[in-house]
Amino acid sequence: MENETKSTEQQNQRVTRAVGVVSIAVMVSRVLGLARETAIGYYFSSRISADAFYLAFRIPNFLRDMFGEGILSKAFITTFLATEVEDGEEAAWNLANRIFNLTFLVLIGITALGIAFSPIIVDVLAQNDFDKSLGAVEHFGFDSKIELAIYLTQLMFPYLLFVSFAAIAMGLLNSKGRFGIPACASTFFNVSSLAIGIGGYYLCPSVGIHPVTGMAFGVIVGGILQFLIQVPSMYRVGFRYRPLLSLRDPRVLQVVHLIGPAVLGVAAVQVNQFTNTFFITTDSGWLTWITRAYRVTHLPIGIFGVAISTVALPQLARFATAGETENFRNALSYALRLLLVLTIPAGIGLMVLSEPICRLLYEWGATVEEDTIGAAGLLFVYAFGLCGFSALKIVTDGFYAYKDIRAPVIVSVCAVILNICLNYLFIFRGFFLDPRAVVFSTVLTVTLNCAILLFLLRRKVGRLGLRSFIPLTSKILTASVVMGFVCWLANGIIESDWLGTVGIISRTVGVFVPIGLSLLILAGMYKVLKVSEFDDILNVFKQRLGK
């Protein structure tokens, strides 16, 4: 019994260490992603160029999310690990090559079709606001926002191919216990898209091309670099490319069988975001506001939810394959507890600082105060769903570790249908004609999706120790409310002292000083309330500093 407890503690420490590595890498990437959004806000109007770019980018990026989440995180990783255990390492590498080559052929076809049918796709998604006339001279021959969006969509569709290769590489390296380089890969995407985007703004007009074209080229180059940076690591763990292709291989068929349901099972957030496009293009600026608000929410989701999910899935898959149900339950329970400790205070912090954060990040250049207020209101609503967005990834991992695809598919499809119905009532029937209604419906349906799947997973594998979550959640909420009050108070004092100033220093102080004080208060409260998961996090930092 003593050895079992020690083994569980060591396992939890390994998970926490790996989560720390991935969290730092993802944080750097997401911060650079926010810098890219800040640049877009500075150079391009939310009502014209930014709206068109965000609509165009949503289409290939949505497909990227679907392929990345479905093929790699769920279908590929679980099958790759099972092949390695049951058939040997050579068979696993052959499977990886076959999946690479099959993915290439499929995505080449999808990319060609996407470019050809971009006018139809954009026309379906874009509502009345995108028919707005533009000055053809000022906008380099484009007569409307929809024309500009079609042009950008066709330019960016090849991004899907390269970034899907990057996602396969990430899944392969994660399966081998390598998390740092894959987590850093998206940093290269953000750096290149930012640099090329800004350069394009100044250079493109000189050759008669719309300045937002630079952002589109930056996306494609970023996708290529995101894959190439992982290639040396793939080579080091033993991968060697071979031109293998087979649709009859049982393991390939297993992946193909899991792909469709895997996509549907994990894509509630992505599908909701994509279908929301149909409703949020009804008014000018809504699409840009929602994209910017979600980008801020994406930072803690990536640092906490994606990082924990990335580390947890290979571990859960190994336990499920080996039939170690008790270890599986312990690993899943610990991942969820760790998530709650991090995401609940992050959500409250985002609510309190929603407007100062949006003002610091976006209210420069072409972005005006109306845009800040609009994005901040949406960020406040998104913050309510931070825990649900993050936990959904981990709970779904539990099902896919057992290759159970039915429950996630059914629940996810129902959640998407509910989201569409709510948006229809809110926006098209006029019940709540406000972009916050679109975000609220997404937050509600994703949280319900997560709660139902957690209940079903408990029935599948037995008790997950959820009763212990009640006192833990009470402690977290108590600490988070105190933290949120201190954050609100500090921000109010700073804003009153700096009233009337709009410089970068005043805005930075108004955001980061309250965050710094809040983190100190939160850490103190967690120590007083004896939150053991927080002690695990501190121990990881102490070990890192000791080295």
Under the banding of pLDDT at 50, 70 and 90, the label for residue 9 is low
Looking at residue 143, its pLDDT comes to 79
Closest C-alpha among 257, 264, 234, 266 to residue 96: 234
Contact criterion met (CB below 8 Å) for 384 and 62: no
Looking at residue 448, its pLDDT comes to 92
Q: Which of 34-43, 480-489, 494-503, 508-517 is predicted with the least confidence, judged by mean pLDDT? A: 494-503
Q: How far apart are CA 309 and CA 332, in angstroms?
A: 10
pLDDT of 498 above 60: no
Q: How far apart are CA 27 and CA 214, in angstroms?
A: 25
Ramachandran region, residue 530 (left: φ > 0; alpha: ψ -120 to 50; beta: rest) = left
Q: Where are the domains of the chain?
A: 47-261
| Residue 56: both structure tokens together | 């165009």
Ramachandran region, residue 312 (left: φ > 0; alpha: ψ -120 to 50; beta: rest) = alpha
- Is the model more confident about 350 or about 59? 350
In angstroms, how far is CA 134 from the centroid of its own chain? 33
Looking at residue 465, its pLDDT comes to 72
- Is the model more confident about 37 or about 376? 376
Centre a 10 Å sphere on the Cβ of residue 529 and count the other Cβ atoms it contains: 15
Under the banding of pLDDT at 50, 70 and 90, the label for residue 345 is very high
- Is the model more confident about 53 or about 466? 53
Under the banding of pLDDT at 50, 70 and 90, the label for residue 112 is very high
Contact criterion met (CB below 8 Å) for 449 and 411: yes
Under the banding of pLDDT at 50, 70 and 90, the label for residue 67 is low
pLDDT of 344 above 60: yes
Rg (CA), the chain: 23
Q: In a 10 Å sphere around its CB, with 0-12 CB exposed, 13-18 middle and 19+ buried, how is residue 6 labelled?
A: exposed
Q: What is the mean pLDDT of the chain?
A: 81
Q: What is the pTM of this model?
A: 0.75
- In the chain, % helix, strand, coil (3-state, to 5) comes to 85, 0, 15
pLDDT of 185 above 90: no
Whole-number Cα distances in Å, 8 to 2, 182, 296, 340: 10, 27, 35, 19
Query: Which residues have a Cβ under 8 Å from the Cβ of 39 and sit 6 or more positions away?
Result: 194, 197, 198
Return the ∠ at Cα 296 (arms to 291 and 300), rounded to 5°: 135
Whole-number Cα distances in Å, 469 to 7, 336, 338, 475: 22, 9, 11, 10
Query: Which residues have a Cβ under 8 Å from the Cβ of 196 and sit 6 or more positions away?
Result: 214, 215, 217, 218, 221, 222
Q: What is the mean pLDDT of residues 284-292?
A: 80
Looking at residue 40, its pLDDT comes to 85
Report pLDDT digits (tens) over 30-63.
788 888 888 888 888 777 788 888 888 888 887 7
pLDDT of 479 above 90: yes
- Is the model more confident about 501 or about 159? 159
Q: Which of 8-22, 316-330, 484-498 is predicted with the least confidence, judged by mean pLDDT? A: 8-22
Looking at residue 23, its pLDDT comes to 67
Q: What is the mean pLDDT of residues 192-220?
A: 90
